Amino acid sequence: MRELLLVRYGEIFLKGLNRPYFLHALLDRVKNAVRDFHADVWMNDGRIFVSDADDLEGCAQRVCKVFGVHSVGFAVEMEKADFSAVCAQAVHMMEGLQGTFKVNSRRSDKKYPLDSPKINAEVGAAILRACPQLKVDLHTPMHTLNVEIRDHAYLYVRIVPAVGGMPVGTNGKAMLLLSGGIDSPVAGYMIAKRGVRISAVHFHSYPYTSDRAKEKVLDLARILSEYACGIRVYVVPFTEIQMQIHEKCPEDHTTLIMRRFMMRIAEACARREGAQALITGESIGQVASQTMEALQTTNAVVSLPVFRPLIGFDKADIIAISEKIGTYETSSLPYEDCCTVFTPRHPVTRPRMDRVERAESALDMDALIERAMEGIEIVET
Amino acid sequence: MREIYLDNSATTRPTEPVIQAVTACMETEWYNPSALYRPSMLVQKKMEEVRRLLLKAAGADGENCTFTSSGTEADNLALLGALRARRGGGRVLIFQSEHPAILSCIPEIERMGYTVETIAPDAVGAVDLDRLETQMRGDVAMIVVMQVNNETGTIQPLSEIARLRDRLCPEAHFHVDGVQGFLRVPFSLHALRADSYALSGHKIHALKGTGALIWRRNRKLTPQMLGGGQENGMRSGTENTCGILALGEAVRSYPQDAAETMMGLKKRLYEGIRARIPKSMLNGPEMDDTRCAPHILNLSLPPVRSQTMLFALEGDGIYVSAGSACASHKQKVSPVLLAMGRTSQEADCALRMSLCPFLSSDMMDETAQRMAAHYQLLSQYTRR
C-alpha cells in the first residue's frame, strides 16, 4: 500500500483516434512539471499516476498547473484481492470526517467479483458501521469516497481541481505581445491553456524604460512559463521607432502608429519563430487604441490571425484571472512600460485608415523595423 | 567604463580601511562581547572605544550611545522609547518631510495619547521658524527635526529651533535625525542642547545593518527590543561587533576636510550643469547659503523626467537618484519639492546627486557633460 497522485484529464476525453497523441503530450508535461521531485510518473488505463515523490503536496501543486489536467486525487493504492482490506482502508480514510458521504466506485477490471453498485453498497455499509457520525447522502454529499478497481484498488477522498485545458504544444505555436501590464500575461495564459506553445515579444524603450521594467516583464514570462512550459522572449529595442513617431507623426495618432509597429514587428518575430498567430491582451474599448476602429487599423498591418482572448472581458474579470494565475502582483509593480512613455493627451479614438496611413508615410518603415529586428535580444524563460 | 556613484545618500561604498576592519573582526574578533573570557573582553573594549569615538564626533562626550541595527531603529528608539517613558500626553511636533523612519511612528505615537502636529517647510525645504514659534507651547513633549533634508540637502536651523525650545517649551525632548548629516555637517549635541541624535553606518562608508542613537544621560528611554539585556538593557540582541568596529573605522578614517572637498565638488557639478543646461532649476538652497549641505545637490531638468535621465546616465555608468531613493520605488512626486513651490511636472524632473569625499573633480565634469548630452536629445522627445 502506498500514497500517490491520481491525475485525471479533462477535454482529451473528447478526442477520438488521435487521443494517444494528446495523452502522450500530457504525460510528458506532467513528467516535466514534477521533475524536481524525483517522482515516478506513468500512465495506465486512462489515468496518470505520480508516486514515490519527495513531496507529494508540492508535486500536486505543480501538476495542478499542467494544462490538460482536470483534477488531482490524493489516493491510496492497495491490493484489490482482499476486499475486506479495501473496506478497512475506506473506514480508515473516513473515520475522522463528519456529516454526509457517498461512495463512488468504478470498476475497469470487469473480472472483479463485485460490480460497482455492489462495491458502493459494501464499502458504504462498512463505513456506516464504523463511523456512526456519518450519514449517507447520494445527491449532495459533503464527502465522496472514490474507489477505483483497476490493476490495484485506488481509494481517494481529497480531490484538488486543476487548470483544465489542453497539453501545451498540441495546438501549435503563437507569439504573445507582452507588455508589463495586467492584461497581456492573462491573454497568454488563456491561449496557452488551449494547448498552444507561446513565445513572447516585448518592446523596450531605454532610457525611457528601465532595466527593472524589462526584468519585470521577464518575471511575468517566468510565471507564465510554469504553465506554458517555457517561453522564449524577444526583447525588441523600440526607442528609435518611438522617437521617430514622436517627431514626425501627428500627436493624436502616435499611439496607434506605435501599435501598428508593434504588430508588424511581432509578426516578423512570429515568422522567425514559426508561430502561426499573434496574441494580444486587447479588450474592446478599454483604451483609445482598443476601440473597434483602432483595432481595425492595428489589425490591418498583419496577415497572421490575431487572437484576443480578453476581447469581451471587463477589467475586473481580467484582474481576477491575473490574481488566480499569480501575475497580478508583478504586473502591478510601478515601472513604466513603453506604451505610456509618450502617451498623447488626446489620442484619436475613431481613426480613419487613410489618415493613419498618411501620418505613417513620413517614416522609413522598413529601415526602422529592420534595425529594431537586428537589435533583438532573446531571453529563454 | 568607470563607475561614477552619485547616490551616497542612499548608501556608500565601504572604504578599504572599513573592509579591513570587518575582515579582521570576522577572523579574530568574532567573540561574543558579553562572554567572560579574555578575547570577548578585548572585543568589548574595542566596541567601547567606538562608542566614545561616536560620542566625540557628535559633540556628546559623556552621554549615552546605544548601538542599533540602523538609523531607522535609532529613530524609532528615540521617538517611541522617549514618549513611552514619559507620563501624560501632550503635543509632538514633527517636521513635515521627515524620513519614513520618523513619519511611520506617528500612528503609534497617537495611539499612546499624544497629538502630532507637523512643522511646515519654507521655500528651500528648511523648517519655517516663524510658524514653528506659534506651535511651541509648554505642552510640547517632543520636537523632531532632521539635520539635513535628504532630498534637497537643506541644513536645518537646529540652533534656532533649540533656542525656541529653551524659551517656549524647555521640557520638550529635542530629537535630531542625523542620518543624512553625521560627519558631513558639523553637529554638537551639547552645543545645541539636543536630547537625542540618530545616525547610520552605511551612509558614511561603514556597513548596512549598523546605526546608533546618541542620547542624554538625564533623559529616560524605554527599550524597544527585549531580550538578553545588551547595551545596558536598552537594545537587546548580541551586538553586531563587526558592524560596530567597521563604524568606528569609518569615523576614524573619514577625511577631516570632507565638507570642503564635497562643497567644492558640488559647486563644480552644479556650475558645470548650469552652464550647459540653462533651464536647470536648483531645488534647495543656493551654494553660498549657509543652509546648503555640501553633499546633496537636487536639480530639476525640465522637460526631461528624472527617471529617463537616471536610466540614460546609468548607461554611462553614472548612478544618481530620482528624488529620494528610499521612496523612489513608490513613484510619487516629492511632497518636499511641492511644498517648495515646484509644480508637479518640475518635481517629476528632479534628480538628486549625493556626493562623498572620495569623488574627483573630473568625475563632476564628466557627469555634467554626459547629462548635457542626454538632455539635448531627450528634451526633444518628451510627452507633449
Residues A64-94 have pLDDT tens digits of 999 999 999 999 999 999 999 999 999 999 9
A209/B312 touch (CB, cutoff 8 Å), yes or no: no
State which amino acid sits at residue B13.
Answer: R
* Contact in structure between B68 and B77 (CB atoms under 8 Å): yes
- In angstroms, the CA B239 to CA B51 distance is 12
- Determine the residue of chain B that is closest to A240 in CA distance: B381
- Closest residue by Cα to residue A249 from A175, A351, A140: A351
Answer whether CATH 3.30.2130.30 is correct for domain A2-161. Answer: yes
- Determine the residue of chain B that is closest to A342 in CA distance: B383
Would you tell me which CATH number, out of the four given (3.40.50.720, 2.120.10.60, 3.40.1350.10, 3.40.50.620), belongs to the domain A173-380?
Answer: 3.40.50.620
Which among A210, A242, A246 is the nearest to B311, CB-wise? A210
The residues, any chain, with a CB within 8 Å of residue A82's CB and separated by 6 or more, are none
Model-level pTM?
0.83
Partners of A208 on chain B (C-beta within 8 Å) are 308, 311
Which among A210, A251, A343 is the nearest to B307, CB-wise? A210
pLDDT at B328 over 70: no
For the beta sheet containing B281-282, the strands, ordered from the edge strand earlier in sequence to the opposite edge, are B281-282, B296-300, B350-354, B321-322
pLDDT at B333 over 80: no
Q: Picking from A178-182, A276-280, A285-289, A325-329, which range would have the lowest pLDDT averaged per residue?
A: A285-289
What does the pLDDT read at residue B125? 85
Q: Picking from A187-196, A337-346, B195-204, B357-366, which range would have the lowest pLDDT averaged per residue?
A: A337-346
All CATH 3.30.2130.30 domain ranges of chain A, comma separated, are: 2-161
Would you place residue A102 in the very low, low, confident or very high pLDDT band (cuts 50, 70, 90)?
Answer: very high
pLDDT at B326 over 60: no
- Determine the residue of chain A that is closest to B306 in CA distance: A208
**Pairing relationship of beta strands B321-322 and A197-204 according to DSSP bridges:** unpaired
Q: How many percent of chain A have pLDDT more than 90?
A: 77
pLDDT per residue as tens digits for the range B90-123: 999 999 989 999 999 999 999 999 999 999 888 8
What would the mean pLDDT of A33-59 be, rounded to a whole number? 90
Q: B324-329, long-range: CB within 8 Å, 24+ apart, which pairs?
A: B324/B9, B324/B150, B324/B151, B324/B352, B325/B7, B325/B9, B325/B10, B325/B352, B326/B10, B326/B99, B326/B100, B326/B150, B327/B100, B329/A334
pLDDT at B88 over 70: yes
- In angstroms, the CA A102 to CA A90 distance is 11
Residue with the three cell numbers 538609523: B71
Q: How far apart are the first and last CA of chain B?
A: 34
Domains of chain B: 4-12+256-378 (3.90.1150.10), 16-253 (3.40.640.10)
What are φ and ψ of residue B235, in 5° steps? -155, 90
pLDDT per residue as tens digits for the range A216-263: 999 999 999 989 989 999 999 999 999 999 899 998 999 999 999 999
What would the mean pLDDT of A274-300 be, rounded to a whole number? 92
B381/A211 touch (CB, cutoff 8 Å), yes or no: no
Partners of A343 on chain B (C-beta within 8 Å) are 383
pLDDT per residue as tens digits for the range B199-247: 999 999 999 999 999 999 999 999 999 999 999 999 999 999 999 999 9
Which among B308, B329, B380 is the nearest to A207, CB-wise? B308
Chain A segment 25-84 residues within 8 A of B by beta carbon are none
**How is residue A60 written as a grid cell?**
500536486
What does the pLDDT read at residue A285? 87
pLDDT at B26 over 50: yes
pLDDT at A177 over 80: yes
Nearest C-alpha of chain B: how many angstroms from A206? 7
Partners of B332 on chain A (C-beta within 8 Å) are none
Q: Picking from A14-18, A171-175, A228-232, which range would have the lowest pLDDT averaged per residue?
A: A14-18
Partners of B382 on chain A (C-beta within 8 Å) are 342
Which among B308, B315, B381 is the nearest to A243, CB-wise? B381
Partners of A210 on chain B (C-beta within 8 Å) are 307, 310-311, 314
Burial, A159: exposed, middle or buried (Cβ in 10 Å; 0-12, 13-18, 19+)?
A: middle
What does the pLDDT read at residue B384? 62
Which among A209, A211, A344 is the nearest to B384, CB-wise? A344
- In angstroms, the CA B309 to CA B375 distance is 8
- Determine the residue of chain B that is closest to A213 in CA distance: B311
What would the mean pLDDT of A59-63 be, rounded to a whole number? 92
Burial, A100: exposed, middle or buried (Cβ in 10 Å; 0-12, 13-18, 19+)?
A: middle
What does the pLDDT read at residue A10? 84
Would you place residue B381 in the very low, low, confident or very high pLDDT band (cuts 50, 70, 90)?
Answer: confident
Catalytic positions of B: 326
A246/B331 touch (CB, cutoff 8 Å), yes or no: no
pLDDT at B284 over 60: yes
Better pLDDT: B312 or B88: B312
All CATH 3.40.50.620 domain ranges of chain A, comma separated, are: 173-380
pLDDT per residue as tens digits for the range B53-77: 999 999 999 999 999 999 999 999 9
A246/B381 touch (CB, cutoff 8 Å), yes or no: yes
Quickly count helices (H) and strands (E) in chain A.
13, 14
Q: How many percent of chain B have pLDDT more than 90?
A: 86
Averaged pLDDT of chain A: 92
Which among B308, B314, B384 is the nearest to A208, CB-wise? B308
What does the pLDDT read at residue A49? 94
pLDDT at B331 over 60: no
What does the pLDDT read at residue A281? 95
What ipTM describes this predicted complex? 0.74
Nearest C-alpha of chain A: how many angstroms from B201? 27
A:B CB pairs within 8 Å: 39
Q: Picking from A355-359, B260-264, B286-290, B378-382, which range would have the lowest pLDDT averaged per residue?
A: B378-382
pLDDT at B324 over 70: no
A206/B311 touch (CB, cutoff 8 Å), yes or no: yes
A342/B381 touch (CB, cutoff 8 Å), yes or no: yes
Would you place residue A342 in the very low, low, confident or very high pLDDT band (cuts 50, 70, 90)?
Answer: confident
Q: Picking from A324-328, B2-6, B336-340, which range would have the lowest pLDDT averaged per residue?
A: B336-340
Chain B touched by A336 (CB under 8 Å) = yes
Helix (H, G, I), strand (E, B) or coil at B98: coil
What does the pLDDT read at residue B327? 44
**How is residue A85 written as a grid cell?**
482490506
Chain B segment 296-355 residues within 8 A of A by beta carbon are 307-312, 314-315, 329-331
**How is residue A74 written as a grid cell?**
490524493
Q: How many percent of chain A have pLDDT more than 70?
A: 99
Nearest C-alpha of chain A: how many angstroms from B99? 21
pLDDT at A17 over 90: no
